[in-house]
Amino acid sequence: MNPLPGDIFARRLRQERERLGISQAELARRMAVLLGTNLDSTAITRIEQQTRAVRLDEAVTAAKALGVPLITLVSDSYARENEAEIQNQLAELALAEQQSERLRQKIDRITRTIQQLSAERESFRSHAMDSDYELDPETQAALDARMHGARNTSAREVAGPGS
């Protein structure tokens, strides 16, 4: 047998109130401010114990006072769907963080390679300038090919698969 909406409301009201860590008196005070009338804390006690029916304006105001949509207080399925969506989003976030970490590592590796190759190039240039020495064409061609290959590899890694 499915619980009645009033049963669900009473249980969900208590759950949400306790989740926020507020007393029945505090909830009654918040609702009284929103309603612009006096609301005794025993009203909340009786609603939660299901010895008093909740009025529609009280239900709407309770949801506002708790900072939740009214559907949260009258539907168990909303809470389950909401929890399922939260879990889905958390899983998606974890996956995105893993992908981000892999890309950060790839960027670090490419940066180190570029720094190493740049240092090698500068070392060769410095050596050539200091000693009035020019690289022989074969060595210069090999160095140019290595630099060109490293640039292409780096560009492919940054672009990712299928680029």
Phi-psi region of 50 (alpha: psi -120 to 50; beta: other; left: phi over 0): left
148, HSE (Cβ side, Cα atoms, 13 Å): 6
Q: Where exactly are the structural domains of the chain?
A: 5-74, 99-159
pLDDT per residue, tens digit, the chain (163 aa), is: 677 888 899 999 999 999 999 999 999 999 999 999 999 999 999 999 999 999 999 999 999 999 999 988 988 766 566 677 777 888 899 999 999 999 999 999 999 999 998 888 888 777 766 666 666 788 888 878 887 776 676 566 666 665 5
Q: Which CATH number, 3.90.79.10, 3.40.50.880, 3.30.1050.10, 1.10.260.40, labels domain 5-74?
A: 1.10.260.40
Alpha helices in the chain (DSSP H): 5-20, 24-35, 41-48, 56-66, 70-74, 76-130, 137-159
Please tell me whether residue 87 adopts helix, strand or coil conformation.
Answer: helix
